[in-house]
């Protein structure tokens, strides 16, 4: 937070209690400013979990500075529980976003411009988008939860932003750039003037350098070698849908089917059921990830069912 003050997020082993505490770096005096204790219906957990595939560049659980701390917490809204961004001080708690979507990552807090950068879900399927970045803002749909004008929830609207689609370019038959970026990793420069956009799905990855205003300045990697390699391979068919498992609760399902399999085919095929046991994790995303299930469906004629059920993250 500053040279004399630090913030820490504590989570117990059963993952049913989270605490945010601030400590004076000189006197070592600490004070709890927020607690989240859950029941059996959900996992506790403030902020986003670090990416296992990229520990140094993923989102963080806490961001902030002298003006306070930003994190994300579970909020009950519109018939469900959604993870939203909040601003915390010793005395106040201000909700920054609201609605039936989730904040999946906190990217950074630009204290000079007073802008919070995050990635979140929007719609179904849920592509990560930036919710509080510079650009055209849509009018907020509801009143802010407090009277602090600096943090009103107009930032919960979704601006036109290149993390939801690739910046416009003229495509031709030789263009190897992806036509849509629905799963992204964003890494900002220290002063928030530039960011690196890693377009990670649904097509093979590409990497761009952009200004904070959304203008693409350079293609750092177009992904052509990987794209050409996989273009010569058979890919599984993917079908994504929802299945109601109980009242007001549904599971996201993605079926990976063998290439060429038709709906009218009556064939006995082996089925592999893939569920993730990590709290708040997701299997059914737009990330391009040719994992073991991809191989089984494409090369071994298996049907692979990936399921995000109760306890999964990014619920919409």
Per-domain residue ranges of the chain: 5-154, 162-232, 237-308
CA distances from 257 to 19, 303, 305 (A): 44, 5, 9
pLDDT of residue 95: 86
d(CA 250, CA 93): 31
Least confident of 11-15, 173-177, 245-249: 173-177
| 3 φψ region: left (φ > 0), alpha (ψ -120 to 50), beta (else) | alpha
Structure tokens at 109: 């807090």
Q: Respond yes or no on whether the N-terminal peptide bond of residue 232 is cis (omega within 30° of 0).
A: no
Q: For 18-30, what is each residue's pLDDT tens digit?
A: 888 888 888 888 8
Average pLDDT over residues 231-256: 84
Q: For 30-49, what is each residue's pLDDT tens digit?
A: 888 888 887 766 667 666 65
Average pLDDT over residues 87-93: 84
Least confident of 101-115, 128-142, 198-212: 128-142
Compute CA 16 distance to the chain's CA centroid, rounded to the nearest angstrom.
Answer: 22
- Which residue did the predictor score with more confidence, 171 or 297? 297
Q: How far apart are the two ends of the chain, measured CA to CA in Å?
A: 32
Structure tokens at 181: 């970026």
Strand order in the sheet with 17-24: 5-11, 17-24, 30-37
pLDDT beyond 80 at 65: no
């Amino acid at each position: 937070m500053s040279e004399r003050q630090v913030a820490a997020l504590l989570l117990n082993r059963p993952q049913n209690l989270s605490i945010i505490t601030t400590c004076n770096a000189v006197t070592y005096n600490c004070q709890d400013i927020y607690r989240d204790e859950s029941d059996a219906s959900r996992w506790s957990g403030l902020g986003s979990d670090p990416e296992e595939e990229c520990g140094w560049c993923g989102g963080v659980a806490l961001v902030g500075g002298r003006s306070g701390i930003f994190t994300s917490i579970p909020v009950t809204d519109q018939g469900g529980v959604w993870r939203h961004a909040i601003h915390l001080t010793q005395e106040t708690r201000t909700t920054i976003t609201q609605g039936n979507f989730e904040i999946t990552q906190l990217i950074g807090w630009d204290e000079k411009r007073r802008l919070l950068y995050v990635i979140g879900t929007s719609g179904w399927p849920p592509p990560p988008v930036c919710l509080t970045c510079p650009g055209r803002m849509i009018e907020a749909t509801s009143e802010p939860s407090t009277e602090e004008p600096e943090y009103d929830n107009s930032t919960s609207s979704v601006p036109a932003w290149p993390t939801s689609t690739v910046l416009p370019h003229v495509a031709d038959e030789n263009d190897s750039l992806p036509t849509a970026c629905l799963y992204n990793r964003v890494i900002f420069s220290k002063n928030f003037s530039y960011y690196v956009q890693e377009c990670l799905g649904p097509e093979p990855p590409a990497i761009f350098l952009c200004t904070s205003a959304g203008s693409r300045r350079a293609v750092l990697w177009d992904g052509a070698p990987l794209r050409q390699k996989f273009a010569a391979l058979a890919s599984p068919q993917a079908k994504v849908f929802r299945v109601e498992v109980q009242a007001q609760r549904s599971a996201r399902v993605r079926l990976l089917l063998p290439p060429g399999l038709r709906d009218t085919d009556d064939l006995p095929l082996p089925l592999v059921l893939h569920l993730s046991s990590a709290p708040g994790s997701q299997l059914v995303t737009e990330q391009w990830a040719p994992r073991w299930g991809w191989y089984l469906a494409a090369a071994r004629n298996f049907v692979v069912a990936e399921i995000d059920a109760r306890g999964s993250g990014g619920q919409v």
